[in-house]
A and B are shown apart, each in its own frame.
Chain A
Amino acid sequence: MKASQAIGSEHSSTAPVSIHDMTVAYHRKPVLWDVDFDAPEGKLIGIIGPNGAGKSTMIKAVLDLIPKASGRVSIYGKPYKRQRRLVAYVPQRETVDWDFPVHALDVVTMGRYGQIGWCKPVTRAHKDQAMAALERVGMADYARRQISQLSGGQQQRVFLARALVQEAQIYFMDEPSSGVDAATEKAIITLLQDLRSSNKTVLVVHHDLQTVSDYFDYLILLNMRIVAAGSTRDVFTKENLHKTYGGRLTLLDEAAQAIAR
């Protein structure tokens, strides 16, 4: 019967990240509509779209940092809350206060805090792990430097190292290459590709269309909704890009207004 369809078919996906009918709203006004997406394992996935398309919103909603209006997210078939350990997150660089009195090593060690647990102190071993991660991003020389004295690219690398030290399976990165120099961007991408080759799944919000086809093997084109998703070769087409960047859907905007009313 038709009405029973409304309940929706139950997914039993065990994809690294599986998003079902996720709608996200700010003040009841939807900004991201019905995202339905299964991320393939061991892929470097780019999330691209114009400003205000909801790229960061999507990541934040998946990570429960902002509430979802509807929908759910599962990580390897289980709810995100039970799989937090498997997920690492690199927020946008601007979201934190870089004047905070800690040095680079401290920031990276924060990646281990989740595993250390309540009230337990940070030990030598954790610092060593953090140091190894810093080395991996080529920042070992700067370990003891206060974070405000690092350049934008170096700060981004520190954030990356903090995610690495979490030893996760899935990495969410919010514009890791914004405001960094070309060399850092290259280093970051190499690192991401390393992660992919060790079968990690990496989702990256990206803004530079020119480099998309070089960097990613899977793409999500986003503009208030998923315009296209699939392997870069299939979806990175002129037509799809036009649909993504060709302006917002007025109808959806109007509908969003009507819902918020």
Chain B
Amino acid sequence: MRAILNVWGCAGMRKTQNLSTPTRPYFHTPILSLLFLIVVTLFFVPVQAEAEIDSIRSITDTRLQMPTWDQLIRVLTLRDYNTRVVVLGTLFLGSASGVIGTFMFLRKRALVGDAASHAALPGIGLAFIVMASVGGDGKYLPGLLLGAFISGLIGMGFILLIRHFTRLKEDAALGIVLSVFFGLGISILGVIQKMNIGHAAGLESFIYGKTASMLAQDAYLMGGAALVVTLLCGLLFKEFSLLCFDQDFACSQGWPVLFLDTLIMALVVAVTVMGLQAVGLILMVALLIIPPAAARFWTHHLYKMIFISAAIGSASGLLGAALSALVPRLPAGAIIVLITSSIFLMSLVFGPARGVLSRSIEQWTLNRKVASQHLLRAMYEWAEIHKNTQKSDDPLKGMTIRDLFGVRSWSHKQLKRILLRAQRQGMIYRGGDRTYHFTENGEWQSKRVVRNHRLWELYLVTHADIAPSHVDRDADQIEHVLERSMVDKLEKLLLSEHPNIGVIPPSPHDIGSKGLKQRSRK
């Protein structure tokens, strides 16, 4: 039976079918290890306050001085109760936001987290009013978080609504929801402050964060959130990645795109709400955006990217919390963000996959290779021409600098550098008469280069219908990046069609020195 009516309805049926086939890796290993790490770390969260609370200096302390070695050790080994809670809490938060942020980042909706965090504010205020007016504790955290979550979701709903019903674009929808919800939140907080239903002070910590006074239950909450987010992303890894990569295709396969989208959004809102009180509303945005953006520079694999992003998020959470515990008057939220963005900057420069440095090194090596291949080819082709005009038994004349300038338009400095390098590499040597000759190795290399070039030209002429007068330029760009396997394929193809082209096929176009020079001026 082929019909699939309902993906949910069939899940049971498929499970039984799948029993026969072994399903070895249930999760991608990084996600599995991430889960494991979170669970293990959860055990470090202290249940009770220990006696050493006072050893952490108060935040009102205004002396600016370097922490002593002893303090450093204490913080880094998490010996203090407070530090341990704060550090672990931010660590969990960083990893959760790193994971879900990756999908948001790849869905090109990085700023949705921004809107979500602002949209959560009225929910907090309303939840406080509701809880306080029914006589409960207005600041009962799960209640506040629930309110925040609901209003965040409503905000997301409005974004979808505005996008669907108006001609406004995503950016305006985000901006409207963000600002109007935030305004509503501010108004509600304003009302609360003047109400006489008890101590509303502290609600503002949802805007700035109150990392330093995090409680064990907060850390547990964040650990739980991290666990749930990672678990869901692990289970739905395949679905989420398909959605982010190619929505249309996902839709044509029958995945409920809207549901998946909403699920991702809901997870983002959940993580945001958890993080609000830790790093504050505005800086929570950073934790959702920056770690994935930084992770992208390190890898080309989605699951590795998730892991790296989580690692960056938790590392900066850890470092930032520790730093703000050590240095007085360093707001933890801000310092966490700063550490995250320094990691981002480092990744941007040094990231091996897409980093600026690795890309420019790549480009630089290629340029060097291209330049020296140009030299070899120019010398070979020059010799080829002169062989015809010379008597055959004369020794081949070397090329002078002037000759070299005649065949290709290179700058003086450029040519000198290329020549020196080629000499160092033992491709050419300088004869007594100030001319340049191939060494044995150089001659062999030059033949290979010319052969590749001409094969490629021939291919372009015979197979790609490119006019012979243009092939040189096209070949010029591609021949240097031809891979071994491609050359082999090319040879096989062309040899079968032109059995007598010889080791170095003749050029399909005129290679007179004038022509060469003209062509090399792109």
Contact, chains A and B (beta carbon distance below 8 A)? yes
Size of the A side of the interface (Cβ < 8 Å), in residues, is: 43
Interface members, chain B 227-258 (any A CB < 8 Å): 235-239, 241-242, 244-246, 248-255
What residues of B have a CB within 8 angstroms of the CB of A64 in the complex?
251-252
Whether the Cβ atoms of A121 and B301 lie closer than 8 Å is no
The A81-118 residues at the B interface (CB cut-off 8 A) are 81-87, 89, 91, 95-97, 100-103, 106-107, 110, 113-114, 116-118
Q: Nearest A residue to B251 by beta-carbon distance?
A: A65
Asked if B522 is at the interface (CB within 8 A of a chain A CB), the reply is no
Q: Contact at A100–B106, with CB atoms within 8 Å?
A: yes
Nearest Cβ distance between residue B358 and chain A, in whole angstroms? 13
CA distance A116 to B254 in the complex (A): 12
Bound CA span A77–B296, Å: 46
Looking at the complex, which one of B14, B301, B485 makes contact with A101 (CB distance below 8 Å)?
Answer: B301
Please tell me if the beta carbons of A95 and B26 are within 8 angstroms of each other in the complex: no
Residue A132 is within 8 A (CB to CB) of chain B in the complex: no
Q: How far is the CB of B306 from chain A (nearest CB, A)?
A: 9
- Alpha-carbon distance A228/B302, docked complex (angstroms): 46
Any A CB within 8 A of the CB of B421: no
Determine whether the beta carbon of B305 is less than 8 Å from that of A101.
yes
Query: With A100-B106, A101-B305, A183-B463 in contact, is A123–B254 under 8 Å at CB?
Result: no
The reply to whether A182 and B23 contact each other, CB–CB distance below 8 Å, is no
Q: Are the C-beta atoms of A110 and B11 separated by less than 8 Å?
A: no
Q: Which residues of B contact A91 (CB under 8 A)?
A: 246, 248-249
Whether B252 and A123, one on each chain, are in contact in the complex, defined by CB atoms closer than 8 angstroms, is no
Do the beta carbons of B253 and A113 come within 8 Å of each other? yes
Name the residue on B nearest A149 (C-beta). B300
Which of the four size classes fits the interface of chain B?
35 or more
A124–chain B nearest beta-carbon distance, Å: 7
Residue of B nearest to A186 (CB): B463
Evaluate contact between B241 and A65: CB separation under 8 angstroms: no
The answer for the CA separation of A101 and B194 in the assembled complex, in Å, is 51
Residues of A within 8 A of B27 (CB): 121
Is A120's CB under 8 angstroms from B18's CB?
Answer: yes
A124 CA / B7 CA spacing, docked (Å): 23
Question: Do A114 and B253 contact each other (CB < 8 Å), given the known contacts A82-B5, A103-B301, A120-B18?
Answer: yes
**Do B300 and A110 touch across chains, with their CB atoms under 8 A apart?**
no
Chain A positions 214-259 with a Cβ under 8 Å from a chain B Cβ: none
Q: Which residues of A contact B255 (CB under 8 A)?
A: 113-114
Q: Assess the B251–A101 pair: CB atoms within 8 A.
A: no
Q: What distance in Å separates the Cβ of B349 from its nearest Cβ neighbour in chain A? A: 19
Query: Within 8 Å of chain A (Cβ to Cβ): is B71?
Result: no
Cβ-defined contact, B238 with A95, below 8 A: no
Tell me the complex Cα distance, A65–B253, Å.
11
Q: Which residues of A contact B249 (CB under 8 A)?
A: 89, 91, 110, 162
Interchain CB contact (< 8 A) of A106 among B21, B22, B302, B464: B302
Bound Cα distance A43, B6 (Å): 31
Please judge, given known A-B contacts A91-B249, A107-B245, whether A85 and B2 are in contact too, CB under 8 Å.
Answer: yes
Asked if A124 and B24 sit within 8 Å, CB to CB, the answer is: yes
From B5, B10, B252, give the contact of A87 (CB < 8 A).
Answer: B252
* A63, A110, A114, A124: the one within 8 Å of B246 (CB): A110
Q: Binary interface profile of A, 175-215, with partner B (CB < 8 Å = 1, else 0)?
A: 00000011100000000000000000000000000000000
Bound complex: CA of A7 vs CA of B108, how far in Å? 45
| Bound Cα distance from A95 to B23, whole angstroms | 33
A119 to B236: give the CA distance in the assembly, Å: 5
A84→B5 CA distance, assembly (Å): 10
Which A residues lie within 8 Å of B239 (CB)? 113, 118-119
* In the assembled complex, A10 has its CB within 8 A of some CB on chain B: no
Query: Is B43 close to A, CB under 8 A?
Result: no
A141 to B299, CA, bound (A): 20
Task: Name which residue of chain B comes closest to A102, CB basis.
Answer: B302
- Tell me the minimal C-beta distance from B29 to chain A in angstroms: 11
Evaluate contact between B23 and A102: CB separation under 8 angstroms: no
Is B64 in the interface zone, CB < 8 Å from A? no
Contacts of A182 in B (CB 8 A): 463-465
Q: Is B25 an interface residue (CB 8 A)?
A: yes
In the assembled complex, the Cα of A97 lies from the Cα of B249 at a distance in Å of 13
CA distance A114 to B249 in the complex (A): 10
Name which residue of chain B comes closest to A148, CB basis: B300
Which residue of chain A is the closest to B23 with respect to CB atoms?
A: A123
A146 contacts B246, CB within 8 Å? no
Chain A: which residue is nearest B17 at the CB level? Answer: A117
Tell me if B201 is interfacial: C-beta within 8 Å of chain A.
no
Q: Which residues of B contact A107 (CB under 8 A)?
A: 245
Q: Which residues of A contact B463 (CB under 8 A)?
A: 182-183
A117 touches B10 (CB 8 A): yes
Q: Are A103 and B300 in contact (CB under 8 A)?
A: yes
Q: Is B3 an interface residue (CB 8 A)?
A: yes
CB neighbours of A123 from chain B (8 A): 21-25
A149 to chain B, nearest CB (A): 8
Contact A97 B464 (CB under 8 A): no
B11 touching A118 by the CB < 8 A rule? Answer: yes
Contacting pair A85 B4 (CB below 8 A)? yes
Chain B residue nearest to A90 (CB atoms) is B249
Hey, what's the 0/1 contact readout for B460-475 against A, CB within 8 Å counting as 1? 0001110000000000
Check if B24 sits within 8 Å of A95, measured CB to CB.
no
List of B residues within 8 angstroms of A162 by Cβ? 249
Say whether A122 faces chain B, with CB atoms less than 8 Å apart: yes
Q: Is the CB of A65 within 8 A of B248?
A: yes
Known: A114-B253, A120-B14, A121-B27. Contact between A141 and B485, CB under 8 A?
A: yes
Q: How far is the CB of B88 from chain A (nearest CB, A)?
A: 29
Say yes or no: A119 contacts B252, CB within 8 Å. no
Q: Using A85-B4, A107-B245, A182-B464 as known contacts, say yes or no to A113 and B300 having CB atoms under 8 A apart.
A: no
Chain A residues with CB under 8 Å of B254's CB are 81, 84, 114
Quick check: B296 and A101 within 8 Å, CB to CB? Answer: yes
Would you call A122 and B251 a contact (CB within 8 A)? no
Q: How far does the Cβ of A228 sit from chain B's closest Cβ, in whole Å?
A: 27
B69 located at the interface, meaning its Cβ lies under 8 Å from any Cβ of chain A in the complex: no
A3 interface residue per 8 A CB criterion: no
Query: Given the interface contacts A65-B248, A117-B14, A119-B235, does A110 sit within 8 Å of B242 by beta carbon?
Result: yes
Residues of chain B with a CB closer than 8 A to A141's CB: 485
Q: Write 9 A-B pairs (CB below 8 A) sorted by A numbering.
A: A65-B252, A81-B254, A85-B2, A102-B241, A102-B245, A103-B301, A118-B8, A118-B236, A119-B11
The 8 closest A-B pairs by CB, nearest first: A114-B253, A146-B300, A89-B252, A84-B254, A119-B235, A82-B3, A96-B246, A63-B252
Can you name 5 extra interface pairs (CB under 8 A) apart from A101-B305, A119-B11, A123-B24? Answer: A110-B245, A110-B246, A114-B254, A116-B238, A121-B26
